[in-house]
């Protein structure tokens, strides 16, 4: 009986430790590889939430959510329902960490003119900012900017690369 109790304690401890572990800032929600590049001067270097950790637990542990990008359809700026959990995770984190500020960086693919893509990128960033505000994040913690087609994540000239570049990224920094 004592061996069974000891085994159960070890298994429980291992599961708890695994659930609370952290991983690098690599994302898993991107159409292609998504490593969310940000300048070292503005991005935080805190650990990110493991995909096994509950979103509420991540906010309580002061851990930035792992998924940082929301992707859009061609010439669209409405948030897809499949990205609601991503936005909700960031809202919980920002509400729990009022000393943090986030910049939402809107991006577009290479097709279209520079002015059009800057406007489209801004609309994408604003859509995510508004969704975060509706979830209770104070306006003072958020900024929406556009890079248009100037900061592509993928350099290809095909649908896969274009889909990877139609996004809004969230970058954290201290107030």
pTM of the entire structure?
A: 0.67
Identify the pLDDT of residue 142: 98
User: Is domain 24-174 classified as CATH 3.30.1330.60?
Assistant: yes
Identify the pLDDT of residue 62: 78
Q: Is 17 exposed, middle or buried (0-12, 13-18, 19+ CB in 10 A)?
A: exposed
The structural domains of the chain, with segments of one domain joined by +, span 24-174
User: How many Å apart are CA 136 and CA 4, to the nearest integer?
Assistant: 47
- Per-residue pLDDT tens listing for the chain (175 residues): 444 344 443 443 333 333 333 333 333 344 444 434 333 333 443 444 444 445 555 445 578 999 999 999 999 999 999 999 999 999 999 999 999 999 999 999 999 999 999 999 999 999 999 999 999 999 999 999 999 999 999 999 999 999 999 999 999 997 6
Select from 49, 14, 56, 7 the least CA-distant residue to 28: 49
Cα-only R_g, the chain: 18
Q: Do residues 124 and 168 lie in contact, with contact meaning Cβ atoms separated by under 8 Å? A: yes
């Amino acid at each position: 009986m004592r061996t069974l109790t000891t085994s159960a304690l070890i298994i429980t401890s291992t599961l708890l430790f695994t659930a609370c572990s952290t991983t690098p800032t690599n994302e898993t929600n991107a159409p292609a590889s998504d490593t969310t590049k940000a300048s070292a001067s503005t991005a935080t270097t805190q650990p990110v939430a493991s995909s096994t950790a509950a979103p509420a637990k991540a906010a309580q542990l002061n851990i930035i959510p792992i998924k940082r990008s929301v992707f859009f359809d061609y010439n669209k700026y409405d948030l897809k329902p499949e990205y609601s959990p991503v936005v909700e995770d960031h809202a919980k984190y920002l509400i729990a960490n009022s000393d943090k500020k986030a910049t939402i960086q809107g991006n577009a693919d290479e097709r279209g003119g520079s002015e059009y893509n800057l406007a489209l990128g801004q609309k994408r960033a604003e859509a995510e900012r508004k969704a975060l505000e509706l979830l209770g994040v104070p306006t003072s913690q958020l900024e929406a900017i556009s890079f248009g087609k100037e900061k592509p994540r993928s350099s290809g000239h095909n649908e896969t690369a274009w889909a990877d570049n139609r996004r809004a990224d969230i970058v954290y920094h201290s107030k």
